Structure 1
Amino acid sequence: MFEHKAGAYAVDLLKEWGVDHLYGMPGDSINEFMEELRKEESIRFIQIRHEETGALAAAAYSKLTGKIGVCMSIAGPGAVHLQNGLYDAKKDKTPVLAIVGQVESEKVGTDNFQELKLESMFEDVAVYNRRVQQAEQLPDMLNQAIRTAYAEKGPAVLIVSDDLFSTNIKRDKEISSPVYSMPKIRGAEEDLQKAADLISASNRPIILAGKGAKHAVPELLALAEKIKAPLIASLPSKGMIPESHPHYLGHLGQLGTEPAKEAMKEADLLVLAGTAYPYRDYLPEDAPAIQIDIEPRVIGKYYPSTVGIVSEAKSALSWLAEHSREKEGRYLGEFQEKQQKWNEQLQEDIQQQTETLQPPQVLAEIQQVLEKDAVISLDVGSVTIWTARYMKLDGQALLTSAWLATMGCALPGAIAAKIAYPDRQVIGIIGDGGFSMGMQDFVTAVKYRLPMTLVIFNNQKIQLIEHEQQEIGNEPTNVELGNIDFAAFAAACGGVGYTAKTKVELKEALAKAKDATKPAVIDVYVEDISPETK
């Protein structure tokens, strides 16, 4: 029989699960756990200035690496602050663990200082949501929380009164283990054959691929090339398909291309590969559909699928590529010509001679310094549309808040990216509204020496909301933002800051930021034009 503090067991288990860092802010209901973390050199504690940043960073780390992201907070206000990042993880289906402190166990239920009904508060967001009531439960509940986060692809919340972390527990044998076995799911032969028959009967097939096909790109391309199908990518999977590929038509919807929109509407077969694309108006009126997804519950959820293949994308796409009849490709050729004209129009936008910088021009300059393995952390707003259209990725990774679409996600994403991959270039593309939602954690990037380049599109307004108000026939209201000198702010935090109002200034700033050993902000003043005017 052996005896240790429950908090020490928890730290050891985190190490066994492969956790090497977590995000949090110390406080009175996690101080005993902080003491155990202090003794452990192999788990890095990243002190953030706001718990929302920590949760968003944990979610971004998980999206980028596939490993569980970990964040922690005190009870009360800290726990409330976690919610936005945890919902981001839930909506984007990525595993996160939140270790949440609670008031002392003997005071739970007495309406004590900073006590909240945490189990109730996290009930909607969490795939696992439990309070440890006795110290002896902590190791096994921690294992279960992490295992469930991986299995259900979402946030697990473990609530622990701080006194339990410092309680000694005795064990003569282990009950559970820190092991998760990933299932290998292959589609049913009959479903695959039905899908192949649909493909053979079609003349205008089209493929919409999402991040569920991330590990099946060669198979995806093989199928598209075999059946001569245009390829469209969801925004979260941007960069997954090489954008120079001749079948690629870009994205769909508000941030998409006209050729993609037209090809989708005229298709007589839709293949949904690892995506739960929700915007029905952009999909075909009544074309049959093949949906490939590892989750049975999403088959037919957003489009009336004719055949559902519950499978990993890799094996299903490989089978279909092998068993589908090769097609001539007239439909593809028609839209390749349209896509070429679309790309030429984008180049004209970029090459315009203007007195002030326009967003497409800024993205073109970023493109020039973009390395092959760079990570782009993209915020939410008009910058999302500009980036989707004008930035061409070919294997680089893109991070964003896709389903929740929360402004302020780019800085936490950049922090997580640099921690995950210290030697890779990290560039944040952010609107002034998004950056100012969580800009205090720029100092976190400085503190932990995380060189990155944050390009802020500064137009002093929440531009996408202004456009939405105009689109429904309303007078734009309360969309203007007070200006901030973001370059001066960066310097005040100990980083480096540049201001760019011309192409020359922008080129110089990007070159200097790329070589900087500190986090850098480039405050780019851009012309106030809506993406819909382009």
Structure 2
Amino acid sequence: MSETKQSGSPELQWVRILDLDELPEGRVQTVTAGTTSLAITHYQGKYTALDNRCPHQGGPLGEGSIENGWLRCPWHGWDFCPHTGKPPGGYDDGVPTFPVETREDGIYVGLEAKPPRIRTVSDVMVETMTQWGVTHVFGMVGHSNLGFADAMREAERAGKLTFIGIRHEGAAAFAASAYAKLTGRPAACFAIAGPGATNLLTGLWDAKVDRAPILALTGQVDTQVLGPGAFQEVDLATAFNGVAEWSQTVLPSSRHAELMSLALKNAMIKRDVAHLILPNEVQEMPAEGKPATTPEGRVTPMEITPPAASVEAMLKLLRTSKRPVIVVGHGARFHMAPIVQLAEQLNAPVVTTFKAKGQISDHHPLGCGVLGRSGTPIASWFMNESDLLLVFGASFSNHTGITPKKPIIQVDYDAMALGKFHKVAVPVWGEIGITANLIRNELGAIDTVDQRPEVRARWAIWREEKLRREKDDRGRGINSASVFAAMNRVIPENAVIAVDVGNNTYSFGRYFECTRQSVLMSGYLGSIGFGYPAAIGAHCAAPDRPTICVSGDGGFGQYLGELTTAVKYGMNITHVLLNNNELGKISKEQRADELEVWQTSLHNPSFARYAENCGALGVEVTEKARLDECLERALAHEGPALVEVRADALLV
């Protein structure tokens, strides 16, 4: 039955909700008092406060209308008395009303003190998540994930979690992927049921194929309507079946802390995607007395020592080599110190895959840059001149082009990656850092050619070529060699650089010389649009380091709304955007296939002015003489900055 709280009750708290003339006669309006949502009616000279939630489907009564003396629900047309909250016909499905007072300064409503917040299933799971080391969640709050969102709000208020509200769920997954690639630790992405969840999939595939641990959290419709086809219902278990290494629905009877622990253990140990489906009503179920769990006693150290037979075969081959070359992939990124020490012991040049760009400085006496399509002639020259390749954590993609014509020792933590595409001389299963140190300690004295003078000579040849390319000018924009030469001069050595996909990325791999920068990219998936969301993830993972994004106009166009996310959170992201009004890489591929260039042109705004409209710094560069000045200005700016370079689509 409809129920009115009695005025004058000592526990009532009186809250001013309206000015005296704010709500016209015969109208209804939604008002929020604290966290209580009310429908305020003004009918026949009397103000009444009703619970805003229709008892049938939860429709917001404050968005309805008063017709023929009845307050009509905007969702399904059920009527209620605007004074008592009772329906016509003597039914008992009315809505509660609250005491109202008209005072000299406005309209007041009396509310009882809110009871203490009840611990929920979501609180248990969020506490478990933070105790396993998840500190950042990227996502969007919506109607089917509100309970879990409220638990994250509590965790953020307690200083245990940071939530970044993005503009598109795809950006959330990319940001979480980039966070994991940079740190090796999982971040989470968060979405509602249906379209919000499916929007996550591209970014999750990026994480999966690049072996980045990530936790996907998706809302779901109530379990009681799951199956027949409720609004925004998608079979998420099936939708995520391909991308998620582990996926489970959280049920009322689940061991909720254990489910979260198992999800994170799968993500961390398998370096893959874990997924939890959160039905709407389960999220807010009471869970008083249910403890969260921690990773203690659940995760083993991962330092795997290779088998003795593999070590013996590897050392035997190394001792016969005169011109060994080390190839490092993305899988070696957290183990570079022992690998560089081993290179110095072997006098071995070090080349990297594109995903591993920057893992050794291009100014190191043995650093030779990137191998393959995105690389330099230096790396390929040394691979071709070698008599043995020692490969750490590389996937042997055709983009990299590690030749199978040389004897290969392949070291990888993933046994399935060994000899995956072709036979190698010695496959070695072991943790990369452990194996590199083991080689150093067991190898002893070795007589190899000191290739450092050759490294210096090859770099000199390439740098002279880059200088020649900087002089190219067709009068149609700035060439890529000039853009990345300027970046070489001004980008801080400790920066994190998130790159997108396209000709801009190939040029970055070819022309930019890394010192101590970390580079993030969509490696195996090669997804356009990765760059700016990845920069958001990188900023969250390493806020004390400068964050740089390099993209083309095509890539940024996919997630340009995320610039407002960076502005909202005050992120110091410097974006170098090469704008040539074209999907230049696709045009290039069409020409290579002897096809007509078709449907690759782009209609763009002024991205610099767009940045200014979003509240960021926007700078446009049309002359290469101004590159350094504009980049320095953007780097010095507090908050997001965008440098739009008018680029030549052909001089890449």
- The verdict on a shared fold, with TM-score over 0.5 as the criterion, is yes
Query: Where do residues 381-530 of structure 1 align in structure 2 (5 Å cutoff)?
Result: 381-530=502-651
Which moved further from structure 2: 494-503 or 283-292?
A: 283-292
Match of 2:138, SS state, is strand
The answer to whether the 8 A contact 2:496-2:547 is kept is: yes
Q: Distance in 1 between matches of 2:201 and 2:140?
A: 15
Q: Does 1:68 align with 2:189?
A: no
| TM-score, normalised via structure 2 length | 0.78
* Map of 1:6 onto structure 2: 121
Per-residue CA deviations over 1:325-367 (Å, capped at 9, x if unaligned) read 5234166755653343123212332355775421111111122
The answer to whether the 8 A contact 1:380-1:430 is kept is: yes
Query: Where do residues 221-240 of structure 1 align in structure 2 (5 Å cutoff)?
Result: 221-240=340-359
Q: Does 1:99 align with 2:217?
A: yes
Q: Distance in 2 between matches of 1:461 and 1:478?
A: 9
Match of 1:398, SS state, is strand
Query: Where do residues 217-366 of structure 1 align in structure 2 (5 Å cutoff)?
Result: 217-279=336-398, 282-324=401-443, 325-329=445-449, 334=454, 336-350=456-470, 355=475, 356-366=477-487
Per-residue CA deviations over 1:60-97 (Å, capped at 9, x if unaligned) read 11111121111110111001100011001101101100
The answer to whether the 8 A contact 1:261-1:282 is kept is: no
Tell me the CA shift for residue 527 of structure 1.
1.4
Tell me the CA shift for residue 214 of structure 1.
2.1
Q: Read off the aligned partner of 1:180 and give its amino acid letter.
A: V
Q: Superposition RMSD on alpha carbons, in Å?
A: 2.1
Listed as ranges, the gaps of 5+ residues in structure 1 are none
Tell me the CA shift for residue 136 of structure 1.
3.8
Q: Read off the aligned partner of 1:220 and give its amino acid letter.
A: I
Q: Distance in 2 between matches of 1:238 and 1:126?
A: 28
Alignment CA distance shift 1:368-1:173 (3 Å): closer
Match of 1:33 among 133, 140, 148: 148
Match of 2:466, SS state, is helix
Q: Distance in 1 between matches of 2:464 and 2:401?
A: 24
**Between the two proteins, what is the percent identity of the paired residues?**
31
Aligned positions, number: 529
The answer to whether the 8 A contact 1:71-1:99 is kept is: yes
Q: Distance in 1 between matches of 2:269 and 2:374?
A: 32
Per-residue CA deviations over 1:377-399 (Å, capped at 9, x if unaligned) read 11111111111111111111111
Tell me the CA shift for residue 300 of structure 1.
0.4
Q: Distance in 2 between matches of 1:150 and 1:455?
A: 33
Q: Read off the aligned partner of 1:327 and give its amino acid letter.
A: D
The answer to whether the 8 A contact 1:62-1:96 is kept is: yes
Which moved further from structure 2: 327-336 or 160-169?
A: 327-336
Q: Distance in 2 between matches of 1:519 and 1:272?
A: 39
Alignment CA distance shift 1:289-1:53 (3 Å): same
Q: Which structure carries more helix by proportion?
A: 1
Alignment CA distance shift 1:327-1:279 (3 Å): farther
Tell me the CA shift for residue 251 of structure 1.
1.3
* Map of 2:489 onto structure 1: 368
Q: Distance in 1 between matches of 2:430 and 2:167?
A: 41
Q: Read off the aligned partner of 1:295 and give its amino acid letter.
A: D
Q: Distance in 2 between matches of 1:471 and 1:378?
A: 24
Q: Distance in 2 between matches of 1:481 and 1:238?
A: 30
Q: Read off the aligned partner of 2:147 and give its amino acid letter.
A: E
Tell me the CA shift for residue 21 of structure 1.
2.3
The answer to whether the 8 A contact 1:6-1:135 is kept is: no
* Map of 1:49 onto structure 2: 167
Q: Distance in 2 between matches of 1:194 and 1:9?
A: 50
Tell me the CA shift for residue 156 of structure 1.
0.5
* Map of 1:15 onto structure 2: 130
Q: Distance in 1 between matches of 2:404 and 2:496?
A: 36
Tell me the CA shift for residue 35 of structure 1.
2.0
In terms of Rg, which structure is larger? Answer: 2
The answer to whether the 8 A contact 2:124-2:291 is kept is: no
Q: Does 1:86 align with 2:201?
A: no
Q: Read off the aligned partner of 1:31 and give its amino acid letter.
A: L
The answer to whether the 8 A contact 1:206-1:229 is kept is: yes
Tell me the CA shift for residue 311 of structure 1.
1.1
Tell me the CA shift for residue 155 of structure 1.
1.0
Tell me the CA shift for residue 188 of structure 1.
1.6
Match of 1:221, SS state, is helix
Alignment CA distance shift 1:304-1:336 (3 Å): farther
Tell me the CA shift for residue 207 of structure 1.
1.5
* Map of 2:92 onto structure 1: none
Match of 1:422, SS state, is coil
Q: Distance in 2 between matches of 1:360 and 1:36?
A: 49
Q: Read off the aligned partner of 2:467 and give its amino acid letter.
A: Q
Which moved further from structure 2: 483-492 or 222-231?
A: 222-231
Q: Distance in 2 between matches of 1:172 and 1:155?
A: 26
The answer to whether the 8 A contact 2:132-2:295 is kept is: no
Which moved further from structure 2: 180-189 or 474-483?
A: 180-189
Tell me the CA shift for residue 222 of structure 1.
2.6
Match of 1:250, SS state, is strand
Q: Distance in 2 between matches of 1:281 and 1:399?
A: 16
Q: Distance in 2 between matches of 1:172 and 1:442?
A: 40
Per-residue CA deviations over 1:123-178 (Å, capped at 9, x if unaligned) read 11011111112254322111100110001101111001011011113557778857
| TM-score, normalised via structure 1 length | 0.94
The answer to whether the 8 A contact 1:250-1:257 is kept is: yes
* Map of 1:159 onto structure 2: 277
Listed as ranges, the gaps of 5+ residues in structure 2 are 1-117
Match of 1:101, SS state, is strand
Tell me the CA shift for residue 530 of structure 1.
4.9
Alignment CA distance shift 1:313-1:172 (3 Å): closer
